[in-house]
Structure 1
Amino acid sequence: MAGPQPPQWLVSEVHQRLVLFLNHVLMQEKEAMERLVRQKGRVARVQWRGYSMALQITPAGLFNVAPEGAQPDLLLEVTETSPLALAQVALRGDKPSIRIEGDVQLAADINWLVDHVEWDVEEDLARIIGDAPAHTVAKVARSAAQALRQFVGARMAGKPDADAPAPEAARAAAPASAPVGSPVVSLPGFENDKP
């Protein structure tokens, strides 16, 4: 893969921030940390195209950026090279195709994490803004994500969404200021404000 590469300091900073996020999520799941404790010191490398990140499991059952040149016990290579196709997979909520090489038990534990550990955004928001506002924000975000998935899925498939209104109905529902043919996405539970 030729082309511009980000500076190493930026890559390092992104890796550190990603580790902080992963550990924040893991600390909310005691069983996840217990599984990782059994793998302490092991290194898993995730690779996509020319980019890679190696994570070492700590004695506490968390992640740390692996030392430079550390040999991975497990290599997870995302085989889909197209960023657009990878985004489609993510929007559908599917797992991307991955080539796995290395330690079977470490692979099984990482797969368990992927399948069972979820970030509870609503809980984190509730600590900052309170339960009711956090619930409302999470509901809006879920609705927006669903609408985005439907919109992108329909456009990528080249056919209208089965749940989307017919073009005439969409034009009728569009605000007068919207250009004809502009996509209109309504979020469930929210009505268009009428002047």
Structure 2
Amino acid sequence: MATPSSPFAFLGDLFNRVGERLQPPPWVVHEIQHRAVLFLNHVLQQEPEAQQRLIRQQGNVVRFQWRFITMQLVATPAGLLDLAPEGATADLTLTVMQDSPFDIVRSGLRGDKPEVQIVGDVQLAAEVNWLVDHVRWDVEDDLARLIGDVPAHAIGNGARRVVGALRQFVGDRAGRAASSAGRE
């Protein structure tokens, strides 16, 4: 958690003020959402089980919310995702409860999921949870298609070491914060 004197508190406050005042035009939001759907479908196509699970949920709409950002996705008959039509009613709403993007990143580095409020279809929520737990982007495989296997593997190893070091750093800081809170 950021303390009032930490730079993360300042950056979080700055992010809040800028996010409330500066809203991108609707066409920019739409384009970003389309790019996100293309990326998600690319990842889903590498996992046949995920596609089979989405086929069973075809036509269901999931609404994702975080602060002022919302996105509605619908499962297609092909087992992929598409943007839900304007005005579609969500079968499931997932709202990320953590306000600070830094807290979300910190949780992710620790391997934790952010706190999410779930409202709606329980079976659809279970399928979304399965997707989150089991579908991963194979960055190294995609990179190998561009630059070859050996350089992609070297970059992948370097990235794994950096992420491991960040996780250890975040874990060490969280452990120190917990022990200092216990002493108070």
- Using the size of structure 2 for normalisation, the TM-score is 0.80
Q: Secondary structure at the match of 2:71?
A: strand
Identity of aligned residues (%): 58
Return the match for 1:50 from 48, 65, 68: 68
Return the match for 1:109 from 118, 124, 127: 127
Return the match for 1:5 from 5, 11, 23: 23
Q: Which has the higher helix share?
A: 2
- Structure 2 residue aligned with 1:94: 112
The residue type paired with residue 39 of structure 1 is Q
**RMSD of Structure 2 on Structure 1 (CA):** 1.7
Counterparts of 2:123 and 2:171 in 1: how far apart (Å)?
A: 36
What does the per-residue CA deviation read over 1:116-161, in whole Å, with 9 as the maximum and x for residues that have no partner?
11111111111221211111110011111222333455567777xx
Counterparts of 1:6 and 1:86 in 2: how far apart (Å)?
A: 22
- Structure 1 spans left out of the alignment, 5+ residues: 160-195
Counterparts of 2:105 and 2:138 in 1: how far apart (Å)?
A: 22
The residue type paired with residue 112 of structure 2 is D
- Structure 2 residue aligned with 1:16: 34
Checking the alignment, whether the CA contact within 8 Å between 1:88 and 1:153 is kept in structure 2 is no
- Structure 2 spans left out of the alignment, 5+ residues: 1-15, 178-184
Question: Which range moved further: 28-37 or 75-84?
Answer: 75-84
- Structure 1 residue aligned with 2:84: 66
Q: Map of 1:160-171 to 2, 5 A cutoff?
A: none
Higher RCO (CA-CA < 8 Å; seq separation 6+): 2
- Structure 1 residue aligned with 2:181: none
Return the match for 1:142 from 155, 160, 166: 160
Deviation of the 1:3 alpha carbon: 2.3
The residue type paired with residue 104 of structure 1 is V
Return the match for 2:142 from 124, 145, 160: 124
Checking the alignment, whether the CA contact within 8 Å between 1:16 and 1:65 is kept in structure 2 is yes
- Structure 1 residue aligned with 2:6: none
What does the per-residue CA deviation read over 1:89-127, in whole Å, with 9 as the maximum and x for residues that have no partner?
111121001110111111111111001111111111112
What does the per-residue CA deviation read over 1:54-107, in whole Å, with 9 as the maximum and x for residues that have no partner?
001111010001111111000001011122211211111210011101111111
Matched residue count: 159
- Using the size of structure 1 for normalisation, the TM-score is 0.76
Checking the alignment, whether the CA contact within 8 Å between 2:110 and 2:170 is kept in structure 1 is no
- Structure 1 residue aligned with 2:4: none
